[in-house]
Amino acid sequence: MHSKVWKEIEQLQEKLHDTVTKKGITSPEAIRVSQLFREKMDEYNRCKMKRLSI
């Protein structure tokens, strides 16, 4: 699960970079992708913390 989530983060990061480059940082699409990226990072951090507390 850990590596799957990280792969998704990398893909979202690429998509965010492309979107910001093409449509601007304040475009609705860039904001949406940024929110998805943040949510996925939160998921990754929760997984990581869960593994550390075991």
Supply the pLDDT for residue 48. 87
Domains and CATH numbers, the chain: 2-52 (4.10.280)
**Cα–Cα–Cα angle for 40, 14, 30, nearest 5°?**
75
Which stretch of DSSP H or E encloses residue 31? helix 28-52
**1-54 pLDDT, tens per residue?**
678 999 999 999 999 999 999 999 999 999 999 999 999 999 999 988 887 775
pTM, two decimal places:
0.84
What tokens were used for 29? 């699409």
Supply the pLDDT for residue 54. 53
Residue 53 is given by DSSP the state T
